[in-house]
Copies of this chain bind each other. A is one copy, B any other.
Amino acid sequence: MINDIEIIKTKTSKINEVDFDNLKFGSVFSDHMLECNFKDGKWQAPKVLPYQPIVLDPSAKIFHYGQSIFEGMKAYKDVDENVWLFRPLDNFKRLNISAKRLAIPELPENYFMDGLKALLEVDQEWIPKKDGSSLYIRPFVFASGNGFHASPADEYKFIICTAPSGAYFAGEVRVLIEEKYSRSANGGVGFAKAGGNYAGQFYPTQLAIDKGYQQVIWTDDNTHEYIEEAGAMNIFIRINDTLITGPTSDRILDGITRKSIIELAKKEGINVEVRKITVSEVVEAAKNGSLKEMFGAGTAAVISPIAGFGYKDADYELPKLDETYASFLKKRITDIQTNKAEDIFGWRYQV
């Protein structure tokens, strides 16, 4: 028992099968998982269990009505083997914001935080030490209750799995600004980390990949004139020396990396504007040379620089600068995350 969390350990660890020097992203899973069930109207005590299959009735609502939400976090080990999380309470709060919108019962904070800490303690050997690697943490909640009736389920599972991971993206990223498809509606669930938002992106993304791009830049569903997100990341655009990102809304995920970048950049004296930004403005800036950088921001990749974009059958290249805000800010954030730099913001959270 750690913090009153019941722990059942695996008899056969798989850790020796893992090549920690060549980790992909999110494809090898640690020995244990946290499981917490909602039934009889309340969340039952969480348990740490051996990583194991989930068994569901074919009528479980997750299969039919997409009632599911998730989070993405990382744990880092510093040179002294201390374990750190980055703003974990923000993930917890966002999970509950998502829960509310998807009619999923909200989780008690201690089940989330104590459950997560117990899991990380049991699987601490799984947290990579190598620079650039981390333990990716995936909390998720889904409808496990049964019945072919389009209404909220009466039972849910909250699970946390972890995956020792290397970097998320590899290579140059070229993006296509979307003119037809969209990921979220006004009054919809775009601000929630709901499973259905991601499935809806796959087909338009595949069309972009077929055209030679790696990702889609999402625009508003009404005019396709406002830039909203970059794949499953928030987006930043640097015009001259100003860093611009759109305001969050009910269509845009309130990213923890995004808001950390805004604070950090301001602190570093970079001029930051949080305002709507149009496709025309970006195209114009690309044409007149004032467009210096574009990058995605999210937990998995931290910052993912964009090398160029396509729009209305034309391609635009971004300049190759020696010093970019992207690499400067990425280093500043990851140094804080991994306890290599002072954390004046109080973002780091020791486990």
Interface residues of A in 149-203 (CB under 8 A from B): 149-152, 159, 161, 163, 178, 180-189, 194-203
Interface residues of A in 43-101 (CB under 8 A from B): 51-60, 62-68, 70, 72, 100-101
Q: Known contacts A58-B161, A187-B180, A222-B222; is A201 also within 8 Å of B150 by CB?
A: yes
Q: Are A152 and B206 within 8 A (Cβ)?
A: yes
Q: Known contacts A188-B200, A222-B222; is A53 also within 8 Å of B51 by CB?
A: no
Taking a contact as CB atoms closer than 8 A, the residue among B58, B68, B148 that contacts A66 in the complex is: B68
Q: Are A152 and B202 within 8 A (Cβ)?
A: yes
Residue of B nearest to A27 (CB): B147
Contacts of A198 in B (CB 8 A): 64-67, 150
Of A134-142, A274-282, A326-334, the one contacting chain B is: A134-142
Docked CA distance A25–B59 (Å): 12
A103 within 8 A of B: yes
Residue of B nearest to A189 (CB): B200
Docked CA distance A178–B163 (Å): 41
State the copy count for this chain.
2
Q: Are A66 and B194 within 8 A (Cβ)?
A: yes
A232 within 8 A of B: yes
A308 within 8 A of B: no
Docked CA distance A58–B70 (Å): 12
The interface on chain A, measured as residues whose beta carbon lies within 8 A of the other chain's beta carbons, has a size of 72
Q: Known contacts A56-B54, A194-B200; is A62 also within 8 Å of B62 by CB?
A: yes
Q: Are B27 and A148 within 8 A (Cβ)?
A: yes
Interface residues of A in 1-51 (CB under 8 A from B): 25-27, 29, 33, 51
Q: Known contacts A26-B147, A55-B53, A63-B68; is A188 also within 8 Å of B199 by CB?
A: no
Docked CA distance A180–B250 (Å): 11
Residue of B nearest to A101 (CB): B203
Contacts of A222 in B (CB 8 A): 186, 221-222
Q: Are A199 and B27 within 8 A (Cβ)?
A: no
Contacts of A51 in B (CB 8 A): 58
Q: Are B195 and A66 within 8 A (Cβ)?
A: yes
Contacts of A57 in B (CB 8 A): 53-54
Q: Known contacts A63-B62, A161-B59, A188-B181; is A199 also within 8 Å of B203 by CB?
A: no
Contacts of A122 in B (CB 8 A): none
Taking a contact as CB atoms closer than 8 A, the residue among B70, B103, B147, B187 that contacts A206 in the complex is: B103
Docked CA distance A230–B204 (Å): 28
A102 within 8 A of B: yes
Residue of B nearest to A207 (CB): B103
Contacts of A182 in B (CB 8 A): 185-188
Interface residues of A in 114-145 (CB under 8 A from B): 136, 138, 140, 142-143
Contacts of A231 in B (CB 8 A): 150
Residue of B nearest to A186 (CB): B221
The smallest beta-carbon distance between A189 and chain B, in angstroms, is 5
Q: Are A63 and B195 within 8 A (Cβ)?
A: yes
Q: Are A64 and B195 within 8 A (Cβ)?
A: yes
Q: Are B148 and A199 within 8 A (Cβ)?
A: no
Docked CA distance A201–B103 (Å): 9
Q: Are B199 and A68 within 8 A (Cβ)?
A: yes
Chain A 202-229, CB-CB to B under 8 Å as 1, else 0, gives 1111100000000000000110100000
User: What are the 4 A-B residue pairs with the smallest beta carbon separation, nearest first?
Assistant: A196-B196, A26-B148, A66-B195, A185-B185
